[in-house]
Amino acid sequence: MERSKEMDELAERSGNVEGNCLLAEFLYDLMRDYVPVGVIEKIIVSNKLSGGKKLYCNGFLATYAKDVANRLLEKETPHADSKKEEGQQEEEEGATRPTG
């Protein structure tokens, strides 16, 4: 997508920052278009103060949030083949474990 002259000038004034982090891209779009930066910062501070432990009151929302976080933090998208390989690895590990 081609940028306007004004957007090119803004990019230049602000440092021509580039990146390839899905989480940073998501947060950038979220803060640019939907949520004020102050709200994001307030949530971060609140979560740090809680010590990283939270009891979610909506399990459906919590599960979705964890799914989004996992997808944004993954280096590669898992494929069906990787799940198959994981299963094979577990079988092989089980075969080498002593029994009884």
Higher-confidence residue: 47 or 99?
Answer: 47
| Residue extents of the structural domains in the chain | 17-53, 55-95
The per-residue pLDDT for range 21-41, each reduced to its tens digit, is 999 999 999 999 999 999 999
Does the reported pTM lie above 0.75? no
pLDDT band at 99 (very low <50, low <70, confident <90, very high): very low
CA distance 81 to 28: 32
Higher-confidence residue: 72 or 99?
Answer: 72
Residue 35 host element (H or E): none
CA distance 70 to 23: 10
Neighbours of 81 (CB within 10 A): 8
The per-residue pLDDT for range 35-91, each reduced to its tens digit, is 999 999 999 999 888 887 889 999 999 999 999 999 999 864 454 444 555 555 555
Output the pLDDT for position 86: 52
Output the pLDDT for position 89: 53
CA distance 43 to 27: 13
